[in-house]
A = this chain, B = another copy of it.
């Protein structure tokens, strides 16, 4: 009878990813199928990660629940979360059907507790890591045999870009062509070990308020931008091929150019939407300007900016160029938070950046913190559960 009330637990981490070929626009809003393929770099969980514990028990009463960063989330009305849970339960039912001795976890309510190791104030979209951790944690709880690629089909329905956070290294999300979305999944292009020197410096902009939410923004773009169809149909497929080859060849110059061009192309179709959507600010532009100066000084592309649906700049570079790239920002922004982690401490300040004084002033006034990170691995199972053996959330989560 004690076994009957047992709390089953599994805990996993999941990483953030930042796309270099951007996902913006859906071909199917219900199934979360993208208008084009995308490609991202998974970032180290030393800097940014979500930790999620999935639990279930016969002793639980009430519906499934989720506590996110200490706050109860309303998940009953979230079609996306429900789609993930439904799919995972179906897969668990298959396990139970094959093995009569497997406990009937699929019938038990779920209690999920999730926490990020970075402040929400950082302004980073955490839904990718969040849904990846949720799917991975429940898949572990249910002991599902599916591969990360197969699970990516489920995570995609929670949040499109979440499918790319189920793997480490360099990850493509294939748009697929099937109507049911069964070929719209994530795929590892290269593991961390293939090109481990990749670094990312995130410049977090002191944001006054959120811009247009990405789901609504994407729909506006698809419905109204007359420039977007060319991007979906021809431009991104060509860039995917180019950047995948650049990753295979460890050709940073091509990687950098394509990354910057695709960020600009994405923001161009946003501006071309009606009403127009603008995420880049003068601070973003100062960061672009700084990257251009750094590259001009180097005589080649050693830094690449990219911007998601917000003003924060993510700057990719290779570890040997740390001082020439990140060191310039460290010199001008020595007192902002974030230089003190493992990656940041390794960056030597560089007084010879040559940035123009107006860009420096704009960055100083506009950047509230930095995040120093690097390419990293995929989700990891851990034993630091956020729910105790009796089913209660651990204090402080």
Q: How large is the interface on A (under 10, 10 to 19, 20 to 34, 35 or more residues)?
A: 20 to 34
The answer to whether A264 touches B292, judged by C-beta atoms less than 8 angstroms apart, is no
Residues of chain B lying within 8 A (CB to CB) of residue A267: 271
| CB of A274 closer than 8 Å to a CB of B | yes
A275 to B256, alpha carbons, bound, how many Å?
Answer: 12
Distance in angstroms between the alpha carbons of A162 and B269 in the assembled complex: 30
Q: How far is the CB of A240 from chain B (nearest CB, A)?
A: 13
Cα A200 to Cα B275 in complex, Å, equals 21
**A205-246 vs B, Cβ < 8 Å mask (1 yes, 0 no):** 000100000000000000000110111001100000000000
CA–CA, A226 and B234, complex, Å:
9
Residue among A235, A257, A272, A281 with max Cβ neighbours from chain B (10 Å)? A272
Q: In the complex, what distance in Å separates the CA atom of A155 from the CA atom of B229?
A: 36
CA distance A257 to B275 in the complex (A): 9
Whether a CB of chain B sits under 8 angstroms from the CB of A358 is yes
A47 proximal to B (CB < 8 A): no
Q: Which of B226, B230, B271 contacts A271 (CB 8 A)?
A: B271
How many copies of this chain sit in the oligomeric assembly? 2
State in angstroms the CA–CA spacing of A141 and B61 once bound together.
Answer: 95
Q: Does A282 contact B (CB under 8 A)?
A: yes
Inside 8 A of A235's CB, which chain B residues have their CB? Answer: 226-227
Q: How far is the CA of A230 from the CA of B235 in the complex (A)?
A: 12
**Would A276 and B288 be within 8 Å (CB), given that A227-B235, A227-B269, A229-B230 are in contact?**
yes
Known: A230-B226, A235-B226. A261 touches B274 (CB 8 A): yes
- A278 and B285 alpha carbons, distance in the complex (Å): 8
How far, in angstroms, from A336 to B231 measured CA to CA in the complex? 43
Residues of B contacting A268 with CB < 8 Å?
227, 268-269, 271-272
Question: What's the minimum C-beta distance from A296 to chain B, rounded to whole angstroms?
Answer: 10
7 tightest CB-CB pairs across the interface, nearest first?
Answer: A268-B268, A268-B272, A282-B282, A268-B271, A227-B227, A230-B230, A226-B235
With A227-B230, A230-B230, A264-B271 known, 8 other A-B pairs at CB within 8 A are A227-B227, A227-B265, A257-B274, A268-B268, A268-B272, A275-B292, A276-B288, A281-B285
Q: Which residues of A does B touch, CB under 8 Å?
A: 208, 226-227, 229-231, 234-235, 257, 260-261, 264-265, 267-269, 271-272, 274-276, 278, 281-282, 285, 288, 292, 358
